[in-house]
Structure 1
């Protein structure tokens, strides 16, 4: 299956090469605020609010971008800055994405080893108002004390009415040093305008040291 997907992606790149050479890159910006920055079920801000923003550049199926948020790990770390890139295509009605991202932390204590690179593969398919998807992430030198880490997620989104979307995801994180855990979320998004949306979401994970939480966020895209 991996070989088939790789070949299909290569054919898509080859076939689109001439068009991409003449196309102009598209640039998109996003800016938002959330009541709590939650990543895979765990708060990255100690339960406090976060200001977030990013920029994405795309050309054909290729994309690259950067995104940042304030964080609070109980030490001197101030912010997370992500750099990422990848390729998106469609094969037999499935939307596919392959890419990698680097996560970098500003003012992290010496020896914390927070910075890491993660690789990803995603697939999704829309059937009427419902979109189902799956994703696999892997890092060879994960955040903090862990080295190899993998995260697998299944997700679903449903559009019941114009401007509304209900979505959820369940995933499992495998770690080689820290304890493995499962995480899930469920929420609703409402588009206030074509460029502004609000999201309310419930997050939980099977870690007795972490609490379930509800977050609210406002995001502008332009």
Structure 2
């Protein structure tokens, strides 16, 4: 936790001077359970999370951190890429590195994603390829739709392949815009992994997240 706070403070100090240019955005949230691709990263415990994003034209970069229940107790992500738009279709090509303070756990992925308007909502797909383990990848289809001006529904269905060990995962949830900068998300997620003792973190679960962006 101490290293997580130090890293977040360092990034904030480096970017604070340029924030007034309008290219930076910040986010902070607290969640009842940090779920990643259907698996709890906090052993069904709450997590504190936050990040900083920079965008200029097609280019974007950012960092995001969260408490976790393994490795050294924190996750620090760094990412960058480009988001070209062709007609009404948006693309996202980038690289993400996940850092946990242990060399055997740290890893990097390449990302390719696309989204397109569908009525009032959007539909999309994404593919992530792990550069450290060539036969490890994840892909999903996703969609979102506004129910009212403040309430929207979204979900995704994906497949994770861990060097030949495969499982399916999915989630669906509701997001309520409390204000222009605050939102509340309630989400159900599940996998088809067997509910044995070592995989209790992959059982069906509901997580609630309060998030602010500024």
CA contact (8 A) 1:129 1:160 kept: no
Match of residue 83 from structure 1: 78
Picking from 188, 200, 204, the partner of 1:202 is 188
Of 122, 137, 142, the match for 1:131: 122
Q: SS in structure 2 opposite 1:141?
A: coil
Say if 2:57 is the partner of 1:65. Answer: no
Indicate conservation of the 8 Å contact 1:25/1:59, yes or no: no
Following TM superposition, by how much is the alpha carbon of 1:195 offset from its aligned partner in structure 2, in angstroms? 0.1
Segments ≥4 residues shifted beyond 4 Å: none
- Gap regions ≥5 residues in structure 1: 1-23
Instruction: Verify: 1:184 aligned to 2:181, yes or no.
Output: no
Match of 2:206 among 186, 207, 214: 214
> Cα deviation per residue 1:67-125 (whole Å; 9 max; x = unaligned)?
0000002xx5210000000001211310111000110003x3xxx61101100001001
* Residue equivalent to 1:29: 26
The SS at the match of 1:190 is strand
Structure 2 alignment gaps of length 5 or more: 1-20
8 Å contact kept, 2:110–2:131: no
| RMSD between superposed Cα atoms in Å | 1.3
Larger C-alpha radius of gyration, 1 or 2? Answer: 1
Alpha-carbon distance in structure 1 between the residues aligned to 2:22 and 2:121: 30
Distance 1:206 1:216 in 2: 22
Per-residue CA deviations over 1:54-78 (Å, capped at 9, x if unaligned) read 00011111010000000002xx521
Corresponding residue number in structure 1 for 2:159: 172
**Matches of 1:139 and 1:122 in 2, distance apart?**
15
Aligned length: 188
How far residue 25 of structure 1 moved from its aligned partner, in angstroms, is 6.0
**Corresponding residue for 1:93?**
88
Aligned to 1:52: 49
In the aligned structure 2, how far is the partner of 1:88 from the partner of 1:158?
21
Render the CA deviation track for 1:146-178: whole Å, top value 9, x for unaligned. Answer: x5311110001010110111001000011215x
Q: Which residue of 2 aligns with 1:122?
A: 113
